[in-house]
Amino acid sequence: MPVLERPRAYWGVSVPSNGEVTNAELARRLDALSRDMTADMAEIKSKLDAYVLREVYQADQRRREDQISTLTAQLATERAERVSELERLRTNIRWWWTAVVVPIGAMIVNILLQSRGGG
């Protein structure tokens, strides 16, 4: 079975041939790892900023549902007002028809009949 050798460079830092890592080399590697992780965390944070929190989304949903229920109630009230206004208008038209138009028409017919000598 072949023996795997350790790489000679890790994060761009060379490893001594004896395989032992000095404290300075370890510090450099940790520093490089820290820089990489900081950059990765900044990237993750920028991506997470594009998303909406569940609580914010649910609050927005509740607000929309409240608005829809308010608009539905207002629409029902408006429809009821229109129906009552239409009924009032129909009542007024019937009143005008029976109180004004029919008697005036009867009077005109009566005048026409009297002028022709039919009465």
For 18-69, write each residue's pLDDT tens digit: 667 788 888 898 999 999 999 999 999 888 888 888 899 999 999 999 999 9
What's the pLDDT score for residue 72? 97
Q: Please report whether residue 4 resides in a domain.
A: no
Confidence (pTM): 0.46
Same domain, 23 and 58: no
Amino acid identity of residue 27, one-letter, is: A
Same domain, 63 and 97: yes
| Range(s) of the domain holding residue 25 | 9-51
Same domain, 15 and 40: yes
Same domain, 59 and 45: no
State the total domains in the chain: 2
What is the Cα–Cα distance from 32 to 9, expressed in whole angstroms? 13
pLDDT tens digit sequence for 56-66: 999 999 999 99
Return the structure tokens found at 30.
């940790």
Q: Please report whether residue 32 resides in a domain.
A: yes
Q: Please report whether residue 94 resides in a domain.
A: yes
Q: Which stretches of the chain are assigned E, i.e. beta strand? A: 9-10, 13-14
Same domain, 45 and 62: no
Same domain, 19 and 46: yes
Q: Please report whether residue 23 resides in a domain.
A: yes
Q: Please report whether residue 1 resides in a domain.
A: no
